[in-house]
Amino acid sequence: MPNSQFIDVAICFDEGYVPYVYVLLTSLFQHHRDVRVTVHALAPKISIADQEAIRAFVTRYGGQLHFYALDTSVMEGFALPDHSTAYFTLANYYRLFFADLVAPELNRLLYLDIDTLVVGSLPSLFQTDLGDFVLGAVQDADMHVRFDLGITSQADYFNSGVLLINLPQWRQQHITERACDLAIRYPEKVKGWVDQDALNLLLQGQWYRLAGRYNTMNGAIPADLPRRDYSQFLADKVVLHFTGTPKPWHWACDSKFRYLYQRYAQSIPQANAHRSPARKLSSQQLFELAKSRMLEAYFNYPAIGRLWRRLKSAGK
């Protein structure tokens, strides 16, 4: 493609996330029709048939796709959460290995989680000068202060769902080896948010702060944002990140922008080919979902709010 704009995007996933890869890729390519896009993928557990189907999908959009082999036995003993509500797997650690697998002449990668949606242009982000920083990231809008990691300010903890990786610095500082060492030797420190905790522990104060629009998490979306203002809110956003659970492919997702994700998903046969079943919700989760949906209705339909206030006044 004779175009000076290009981006190298990294993704990693396991077999349970294959349908949702198509949604992310569709959003990526639809916003970058005149950009040379190369996708670097780590998915050692998926079938050859799925690999070839995803490759054909990327090729139809004019992009390139590279799958890399990874010996997952190197992750034996890596810390994982020990509570039943966790949705992390060893696949969360895959992103730590890209620097050792991609071509050595490649200087940067833009990593995107599978539960993200591209809603804007990425080249300006991709070309950000990181200086000597190992990576660029966005403050985690959903995370409390992590005193347990020695981080004393909420602003100093980043989310690893969108990472601009400075590959030479990553290699020079041996981030892969050091993060893997943490995952094995200090499980009590990283088992909460696995690779994200490990990277935050290693890079305290030593990461480049990207603007929030490059990784817009649930916690960054105003609770009182009405539907009429959704377009205005999205106008300067580049990546939406559906943090937390349930995810946007589940009926119980409480993100205001779940409709946007479903709009993409419903247009892609591959995204609906083999859906994974939704997680069962606890009584507390069902209560929180009902409350969230009622608040949405309250802000989206002012007449309901006025009626509710009249009923409350009449009951006094």
What pLDDT does residue 274 have?
Answer: 47
What pLDDT does residue 270 have?
Answer: 72
pLDDT band at 2 (very low <50, low <70, confident <90, very high): very low
pLDDT band at 293 (very low <50, low <70, confident <90, very high): low
Q: How far apart are the first and last CA of the chain?
A: 69
Most confidently predicted of 149-153, 166-170, 254-258, 274-278:
166-170
Long-range contacts made by residues 281-286, C-beta under 8 angstroms, separation at least 24? Answer: 281/246, 281/252, 285/252
Indicate the average pLDDT of the chain: 88
Judge contact between 96 and 175, C-beta under 8 A. yes
Q: What angle do CA 236, 241, 244 make, to 5 degrees?
A: 145
pLDDT band at 292 (very low <50, low <70, confident <90, very high): low
Report, as an integer, the average pLDDT of 272-291. 56
Digit-coded pLDDT (tens) for 77-100: 998 887 655 678 899 999 999 999
pLDDT at 140 over 90: yes
Digit-coded pLDDT (tens) for 180-216: 999 999 999 898 899 999 999 999 989 999 999 999 9
Burial track 290-307 (b if 16+ CB lie within 10 A, e otherwise): eebeeebeebbeeeeeee
What pLDDT does residue 311 have?
Answer: 62
What pLDDT does residue 254 have?
Answer: 87
Judge contact between 139 and 154, C-beta under 8 A. yes
pLDDT band at 306 (very low <50, low <70, confident <90, very high): low
Q: At what angle do helices 194-202 and 175-185 cross, to 10 degrees?
A: 120
Beta strand extents in 157-308 (DSSP E only): 158-166, 208-209, 239-241
* All domains of the chain in start order, with CATH: 6-272 (3.90.550.10), 283-314 (no CATH)
